[in-house]
Structure 1
Protein backbone atom coordinates (compact mmCIF):
# COMPACT_ATOMS: atom_id res chain seq x y z
CA UNK A 1 0.00 0.00 0.00
CA UNK A 2 1.38 3.17 -1.02
CA UNK A 3 0.53 6.16 1.02
CA UNK A 4 1.55 9.63 0.80
CA UNK A 5 3.12 11.18 3.79
CA UNK A 6 0.78 13.39 5.79
CA UNK A 7 1.73 17.01 5.36
CA UNK A 8 -0.14 19.32 7.67
CA UNK A 9 -1.66 22.35 6.03
CA UNK A 10 -0.31 25.56 7.27
CA UNK A 11 -2.95 27.68 8.90
CA UNK A 12 -2.79 31.33 9.82
CA UNK A 13 -3.60 34.73 8.41
CA UNK A 14 -2.21 36.36 5.41
CA UNK A 15 -0.70 39.81 5.43
CA UNK A 16 -3.75 41.17 3.62
CA UNK A 17 -6.10 39.78 6.26
CA UNK A 18 -3.97 41.22 9.04
CA UNK A 19 -3.91 44.70 7.47
CA UNK A 20 -7.70 44.61 6.95
CA UNK A 21 -8.26 43.63 10.63
CA UNK A 22 -6.05 46.49 11.83
CA UNK A 23 -7.85 48.99 9.57
CA UNK A 24 -11.29 47.90 10.80
CA UNK A 25 -10.15 48.07 14.44
CA UNK A 26 -8.77 51.57 13.81
CA UNK A 27 -12.08 52.80 12.40
CA UNK A 28 -13.96 51.37 15.41
CA UNK A 29 -11.57 52.99 17.90
CA UNK A 30 -11.90 56.39 16.18
CA UNK A 31 -15.70 56.13 16.36
CA UNK A 32 -15.64 55.19 20.04
CA UNK A 33 -13.20 57.97 20.94
CA UNK A 34 -15.32 60.57 19.11
CA UNK A 35 -18.41 59.52 21.06
CA UNK A 36 -16.44 59.42 24.32
CA UNK A 37 -14.99 62.91 23.84
CA UNK A 38 -18.47 64.29 23.10
CA UNK A 39 -19.83 62.77 26.30
CA UNK A 40 -16.91 64.00 28.41
CA UNK A 41 -17.18 67.49 26.89
CA UNK A 42 -20.80 67.81 28.03
CA UNK A 43 -20.48 66.14 31.41
CA UNK A 44 -20.60 69.45 33.29
CA UNK A 45 -23.75 70.75 31.54
CA UNK A 46 -26.18 69.20 34.08
CA UNK A 47 -24.20 70.76 36.94
CA UNK A 48 -24.40 74.21 35.32
CA UNK A 49 -28.16 73.85 34.78
CA UNK A 50 -28.71 72.69 38.35
CA UNK A 51 -26.67 75.62 39.64
CA UNK A 52 -28.76 78.05 37.54
CA UNK A 53 -32.00 76.62 38.96
CA UNK A 54 -30.65 76.88 42.52
CA UNK A 55 -29.61 80.50 41.97
CA UNK A 56 -32.99 81.40 40.46
CA UNK A 57 -34.84 79.80 43.37
CA UNK A 58 -32.60 81.62 45.84
CA UNK A 59 -33.29 85.05 44.31
CA UNK A 60 -37.01 84.24 44.06
CA UNK A 61 -37.20 83.22 47.70
CA UNK A 62 -35.34 86.37 48.74
CA UNK A 63 -37.83 88.56 46.87
CA UNK A 64 -40.95 86.69 48.00
CA UNK A 65 -39.95 86.90 51.66
CA UNK A 66 -40.15 90.71 51.53
CA UNK A 67 -43.40 92.44 52.54
CA UNK A 68 -46.00 93.17 49.88
CA UNK A 69 -46.29 96.83 50.88
CA UNK A 70 -43.57 99.41 51.44
CA UNK A 71 -43.20 100.49 55.10
CA UNK A 72 -45.00 103.70 54.10
CA UNK A 73 -48.02 101.55 53.16
CA UNK A 74 -47.81 101.98 49.40
CA UNK A 75 -47.46 99.35 46.70
CA UNK A 76 -44.44 99.59 44.42
CA UNK A 77 -42.84 102.92 45.31
CA UNK A 78 -39.48 103.83 43.77
CA UNK A 79 -36.79 101.30 44.62
CA UNK A 80 -34.09 102.43 47.04
CA UNK A 81 -30.57 102.89 45.78
CA UNK A 82 -27.72 100.70 46.87
CA UNK A 83 -27.52 97.00 47.47
CA UNK A 84 -30.35 94.52 47.79
CA UNK A 85 -30.06 94.66 51.56
CA UNK A 86 -31.81 98.06 51.28
CA UNK A 87 -34.83 96.52 49.50
CA UNK A 88 -37.80 96.54 51.87
CA UNK A 89 -40.64 95.22 49.67
CA UNK A 90 -41.20 92.91 46.73
CA UNK A 91 -41.49 95.70 44.15
CA UNK A 92 -37.98 96.94 44.93
CA UNK A 93 -36.73 93.95 42.94
CA UNK A 94 -38.44 95.14 39.73
CA UNK A 95 -35.90 95.67 36.94
CA UNK A 96 -33.06 94.45 39.14
CA UNK A 97 -30.24 93.01 37.06
CA UNK A 98 -26.64 92.11 37.66
CA UNK A 99 -23.95 90.66 35.44
CA UNK A 100 -22.63 88.68 38.40
CA UNK A 101 -24.10 86.79 41.31
CA UNK A 102 -23.88 88.81 44.51
CA UNK A 103 -24.97 88.58 48.11
CA UNK A 104 -27.60 91.07 49.29
CA UNK A 105 -24.81 93.33 50.59
CA UNK A 106 -23.27 93.52 47.11
CA UNK A 107 -20.33 91.18 47.69
CA UNK A 108 -19.57 88.91 44.73
CA UNK A 109 -19.85 85.17 45.16
CA UNK A 110 -16.67 83.45 44.03
CA UNK A 111 -17.04 80.44 41.77
CA UNK A 112 -20.16 81.77 40.06
CA UNK A 113 -18.59 83.94 37.40
CA UNK A 114 -20.39 83.78 34.10
CA UNK A 115 -23.88 83.77 35.63
CA UNK A 116 -26.11 86.83 35.45
CA UNK A 117 -29.51 87.64 36.93
CA UNK A 118 -32.51 89.80 36.05
CA UNK A 119 -35.75 90.14 37.99
CA UNK A 120 -39.13 91.48 36.92
CA UNK A 121 -42.06 92.24 39.24
CA UNK A 122 -45.53 93.11 37.95
CA UNK A 123 -49.18 92.90 38.89
CA UNK A 124 -50.89 89.66 37.97
CA UNK A 125 -53.28 89.44 35.06
CA UNK A 126 -56.95 88.69 35.71
CA UNK A 127 -57.41 84.98 36.22
CA UNK A 128 -53.72 84.16 36.80
CA UNK A 129 -54.49 83.07 40.35
CA UNK A 130 -58.14 82.20 39.99
CA UNK A 131 -60.33 84.72 41.77
CA UNK A 132 -57.51 86.71 43.40
CA UNK A 133 -57.96 90.35 42.33
CA UNK A 134 -55.19 91.84 40.19
CA UNK A 135 -54.43 94.49 42.81
CA UNK A 136 -53.81 91.85 45.50
CA UNK A 137 -50.91 89.88 44.04
CA UNK A 138 -47.62 90.38 42.25
CA UNK A 139 -45.80 88.08 39.85
CA UNK A 140 -42.03 87.79 40.32
CA UNK A 141 -39.98 86.37 37.43
CA UNK A 142 -36.29 85.59 37.98
CA UNK A 143 -34.08 84.87 34.96
CA UNK A 144 -30.60 83.41 35.40
CA UNK A 145 -28.29 83.26 32.39
CA UNK A 146 -25.60 80.59 32.74
CA UNK A 147 -22.07 80.47 31.28
CA UNK A 148 -23.57 78.20 28.58
CA UNK A 149 -25.73 81.21 27.57
CA UNK A 150 -28.89 79.32 28.56
CA UNK A 151 -31.59 81.20 30.46
CA UNK A 152 -33.44 79.59 33.37
CA UNK A 153 -36.65 81.26 34.52
CA UNK A 154 -38.68 80.74 37.67
CA UNK A 155 -41.90 82.52 38.56
CA UNK A 156 -43.49 83.07 41.95
CA UNK A 157 -46.43 85.05 43.29
CA UNK A 158 -46.60 87.32 46.32
CA UNK A 159 -50.08 88.10 47.60
CA UNK A 160 -51.16 90.89 49.92
CA UNK A 161 -52.25 88.72 52.84
CA UNK A 162 -50.87 90.96 55.55
CA UNK A 163 -52.85 94.16 54.98
CA UNK A 164 -55.52 95.29 57.40
CA UNK A 165 -58.21 94.96 56.22
CA UNK A 166 -57.24 92.01 54.06
CA UNK A 167 -57.03 92.54 50.33
CA UNK A 168 -60.17 91.12 48.76
Structure 2
Protein backbone atom coordinates (compact mmCIF):
# COMPACT_ATOMS: atom_id res chain seq x y z
CA UNK A 1 0.00 0.00 0.00
CA UNK A 2 2.79 2.41 0.67
CA UNK A 3 4.09 1.88 -2.92
CA UNK A 4 0.71 2.94 -4.35
CA UNK A 5 0.70 6.05 -2.16
CA UNK A 6 4.20 6.94 -3.40
CA UNK A 7 3.14 6.60 -7.04
CA UNK A 8 0.05 8.77 -6.48
CA UNK A 9 2.20 11.40 -4.84
CA UNK A 10 4.62 11.59 -7.79
CA UNK A 11 1.94 12.36 -10.37
CA UNK A 12 1.69 16.12 -9.60
CA UNK A 13 4.05 19.10 -9.81
CA UNK A 14 5.75 20.39 -6.71
CA UNK A 15 5.40 23.99 -5.63
CA UNK A 16 9.10 24.67 -6.32
CA UNK A 17 8.79 23.31 -9.90
CA UNK A 18 5.71 25.45 -10.49
CA UNK A 19 7.46 28.62 -9.26
CA UNK A 20 10.54 27.90 -11.42
CA UNK A 21 8.31 27.37 -14.47
CA UNK A 22 6.53 30.68 -13.87
CA UNK A 23 9.85 32.55 -13.48
CA UNK A 24 11.27 31.10 -16.70
CA UNK A 25 8.11 31.83 -18.70
CA UNK A 26 7.88 35.41 -17.37
CA UNK A 27 11.54 36.10 -18.31
CA UNK A 28 10.91 34.74 -21.82
CA UNK A 29 7.74 36.82 -22.19
CA UNK A 30 9.55 39.95 -21.00
CA UNK A 31 12.25 39.38 -23.66
CA UNK A 32 9.66 38.87 -26.41
CA UNK A 33 7.76 42.01 -25.36
CA UNK A 34 11.02 44.03 -25.35
CA UNK A 35 11.81 42.89 -28.92
CA UNK A 36 8.27 43.75 -30.03
CA UNK A 37 8.53 47.20 -28.43
CA UNK A 38 11.84 47.92 -30.17
CA UNK A 39 10.47 46.69 -33.50
CA UNK A 40 7.41 48.90 -33.20
CA UNK A 41 9.46 51.93 -32.16
CA UNK A 42 11.86 51.54 -35.11
CA UNK A 43 9.31 50.55 -37.74
CA UNK A 44 8.96 54.16 -38.93
CA UNK A 45 12.70 54.43 -39.70
CA UNK A 46 12.68 52.06 -42.74
CA UNK A 47 9.70 53.97 -44.12
CA UNK A 48 11.52 57.30 -43.78
CA UNK A 49 14.62 55.80 -45.43
CA UNK A 50 12.51 54.48 -48.30
CA UNK A 51 10.90 57.91 -48.76
CA UNK A 52 14.34 59.56 -48.71
CA UNK A 53 15.56 57.09 -51.34
CA UNK A 54 12.55 57.85 -53.58
CA UNK A 55 13.16 61.60 -53.23
CA UNK A 56 16.87 61.16 -54.02
CA UNK A 57 16.11 59.03 -57.10
CA UNK A 58 13.64 61.61 -58.43
CA UNK A 59 16.02 64.54 -57.88
CA UNK A 60 18.98 62.69 -59.43
CA UNK A 61 16.87 61.82 -62.45
CA UNK A 62 15.81 65.47 -62.80
CA UNK A 63 19.45 66.60 -62.91
CA UNK A 64 20.48 63.83 -65.32
CA UNK A 65 17.62 64.75 -67.68
CA UNK A 66 18.82 68.35 -68.00
CA UNK A 67 20.68 69.42 -71.14
CA UNK A 68 24.46 69.19 -71.29
CA UNK A 69 25.69 71.85 -73.69
CA UNK A 70 28.86 73.88 -74.11
CA UNK A 71 26.86 77.05 -74.67
CA UNK A 72 24.06 78.71 -72.79
CA UNK A 73 20.84 77.97 -74.73
CA UNK A 74 20.49 81.74 -75.38
CA UNK A 75 23.71 81.64 -77.41
CA UNK A 76 23.00 81.80 -81.17
CA UNK A 77 25.55 79.02 -81.87
CA UNK A 78 24.50 76.74 -78.99
CA UNK A 79 23.75 73.80 -81.30
CA UNK A 80 26.94 73.99 -83.34
CA UNK A 81 29.75 75.10 -80.99
CA UNK A 82 32.49 72.41 -80.71
CA UNK A 83 33.62 73.69 -77.30
CA UNK A 84 32.94 76.44 -74.75
CA UNK A 85 35.49 78.79 -76.33
CA UNK A 86 33.43 78.93 -79.53
CA UNK A 87 30.23 79.95 -77.72
CA UNK A 88 28.86 83.48 -77.90
CA UNK A 89 27.53 82.86 -74.35
CA UNK A 90 29.42 79.94 -72.74
CA UNK A 91 27.70 77.72 -70.21
CA UNK A 92 29.02 78.14 -66.68
CA UNK A 93 28.39 76.83 -63.15
CA UNK A 94 25.18 77.96 -61.48
CA UNK A 95 21.91 78.95 -63.10
CA UNK A 96 22.03 82.04 -65.24
CA UNK A 97 19.25 84.38 -66.19
CA UNK A 98 19.34 87.30 -68.61
CA UNK A 99 16.80 89.22 -66.54
CA UNK A 100 18.49 88.55 -63.20
CA UNK A 101 15.45 86.58 -62.03
CA UNK A 102 16.13 83.03 -60.86
CA UNK A 103 14.86 80.65 -63.59
CA UNK A 104 12.40 77.96 -62.61
CA UNK A 105 13.34 74.31 -62.46
CA UNK A 106 14.06 72.14 -64.28
CA UNK A 107 17.13 74.11 -65.33
CA UNK A 108 18.37 74.07 -68.92
CA UNK A 109 21.79 72.56 -68.13
CA UNK A 110 23.20 69.98 -65.71
CA UNK A 111 25.75 72.37 -64.22
CA UNK A 112 23.04 74.95 -63.48
CA UNK A 113 22.16 72.89 -60.40
CA UNK A 114 25.55 73.58 -58.74
CA UNK A 115 27.16 76.95 -58.08
CA UNK A 116 30.70 75.55 -58.19
CA UNK A 117 32.24 72.15 -58.91
CA UNK A 118 32.06 69.79 -55.92
CA UNK A 119 30.27 72.26 -53.63
CA UNK A 120 26.92 70.94 -52.32
CA UNK A 121 24.05 73.24 -53.27
CA UNK A 122 20.43 73.36 -52.16
CA UNK A 123 19.23 73.61 -55.75
CA UNK A 124 15.92 71.88 -55.00
CA UNK A 125 14.65 74.37 -52.40
CA UNK A 126 12.23 77.19 -53.14
CA UNK A 127 12.69 80.74 -51.89
CA UNK A 128 11.27 79.76 -48.48
CA UNK A 129 13.86 76.98 -48.09
CA UNK A 130 11.32 74.19 -48.65
CA UNK A 131 12.15 71.09 -50.69
CA UNK A 132 10.25 71.15 -53.99
CA UNK A 133 9.74 68.92 -57.01
CA UNK A 134 10.72 69.84 -60.60
CA UNK A 135 7.56 71.93 -61.03
CA UNK A 136 8.22 73.97 -57.89
CA UNK A 137 5.56 72.27 -55.76
CA UNK A 138 6.46 71.69 -52.12
CA UNK A 139 7.23 68.04 -51.38
CA UNK A 140 4.94 66.93 -48.55
CA UNK A 141 7.71 65.26 -46.60
CA UNK A 142 8.65 67.27 -43.54
CA UNK A 143 12.08 66.75 -42.13
CA UNK A 144 13.81 66.01 -45.45
CA UNK A 145 16.62 68.10 -46.93
CA UNK A 146 18.41 67.67 -50.24
CA UNK A 147 21.69 68.87 -51.73
CA UNK A 148 23.42 68.26 -55.04
CA UNK A 149 27.12 68.40 -55.84
CA UNK A 150 28.45 68.14 -59.40
CA UNK A 151 32.10 67.64 -60.28
CA UNK A 152 33.98 66.81 -63.51
CA UNK A 153 35.04 63.17 -63.37
CA UNK A 154 36.58 60.40 -65.46
CA UNK A 155 33.96 58.10 -66.97
CA UNK A 156 35.58 55.21 -68.79
CA UNK A 157 37.47 56.66 -71.76
CA UNK A 158 35.75 60.03 -71.41
CA UNK A 159 38.15 62.44 -69.72
CA UNK A 160 37.12 64.69 -66.90
CA UNK A 161 38.82 67.78 -68.24
CA UNK A 162 39.37 70.66 -65.89
CA UNK A 163 36.99 71.98 -63.28
CA UNK A 164 35.34 74.04 -66.00
CA UNK A 165 31.73 73.65 -67.00
CA UNK A 166 32.78 72.35 -70.44
CA UNK A 167 34.00 68.99 -69.10
CA UNK A 168 32.72 65.98 -71.07
CA UNK A 169 31.79 63.90 -68.00
CA UNK A 170 30.20 64.98 -64.73
CA UNK A 171 29.55 63.04 -61.52
CA UNK A 172 26.31 64.08 -59.82
CA UNK A 173 25.85 63.38 -56.11
CA UNK A 174 22.44 63.88 -54.49
CA UNK A 175 22.21 63.65 -50.69
CA UNK A 176 18.80 63.53 -49.01
CA UNK A 177 18.93 63.96 -45.24
CA UNK A 178 16.26 62.85 -42.79
CA UNK A 179 15.87 62.06 -39.12
CA UNK A 180 18.75 62.62 -36.71
CA UNK A 181 21.70 62.96 -39.08
CA UNK A 182 20.65 60.07 -41.33
CA UNK A 183 21.09 60.47 -45.10
CA UNK A 184 20.75 58.66 -48.41
CA UNK A 185 23.45 59.40 -51.00
CA UNK A 186 23.08 58.60 -54.70
CA UNK A 187 25.72 59.14 -57.38
CA UNK A 188 25.07 59.35 -61.10
CA UNK A 189 27.03 60.36 -64.19
CA UNK A 190 26.29 62.49 -67.19
CA UNK A 191 28.43 62.44 -70.32
CA UNK A 192 28.22 64.33 -73.59
CA UNK A 193 26.95 61.98 -76.23
CA UNK A 194 27.32 64.44 -79.08
CA UNK A 195 29.31 67.45 -77.90
CA UNK A 196 28.15 69.74 -80.70
CA UNK A 197 24.44 69.08 -80.18
CA UNK A 198 22.58 71.36 -77.79
CA UNK A 199 20.33 68.94 -75.90
CA UNK A 200 20.12 65.18 -75.93
The aligned counterpart of 2:149 is 120
- Give the TM-score normalised by structure 1: 0.78
* Gaps in structure 2 of 5+ consecutive residues: 79-89, 115-119, 161-166
What does residue 67 of structure 1 align with? 67
Matches within 5 A, 1:48-67: 48-67=48-67
- Alpha-carbon deviations, 1:65-115, whole Å to 9, x = none? 1111231342324424546426221111114314643123432122x1111
CA distance in 1, matches of 2:3, 2:195: 109
TM-score (norm. length: structure 2)? 0.67
Moved over 6 A (4+): none
Instruction: Determine the structure 2 residue equivalent to 1:41.
Output: 41
| Cα separation, 2, equivalents of 1:165 and 1:82 | 25
- Specify the alignment match of 1:96 in structure 2: 121
Q: What is the rounded CA distance, in whole Å, between the counterparts of 1:165 and 1:152 in structure 2?
A: 34
The correspondence of residues 100-111 of structure 1 with structure 2, limited to 5 A, is 100-110=130-140
Whole-angstrom distance in 1 between the partners of 2:93 and 2:139: 29
Residue deviations 1:99-152 (CA, integer Å, cap 9, x gap): 643123432122x1111100011222xxx2122122212221111112253221
Q: Is the Cα contact below 8 Å between 2:113 and 2:148 reproduced in 1?
A: yes
Do structure 1's residue 87 and structure 2's residue 94 form an aligned pair? Answer: no
Partner in structure 2 of residue 133 of structure 1: 159
Instruction: Give the stretch that moved more between structures: 36-45 or 75-84.
Output: 75-84
- Greater RCO structure (CA 8 Å; 6+ sep): 2
Q: Report the CA distance between 1:162 and its aligned residue.
A: 3.8
How far the C-alpha of 1:55 sits from its partner, in A, is 1.2
Secondary structure of 2:13 counterpart: coil
- What do you get for the CA RMSD once the two structures are aligned? 2.6
- CA–CA distance in structure 2, aligned partners of residues 117 and 49 of structure 1: 13
Aligned partner of 1:21 in structure 2 is 21
CA gap of 1:25–1:78, structure 2 versus 1, over 3 A, is closer
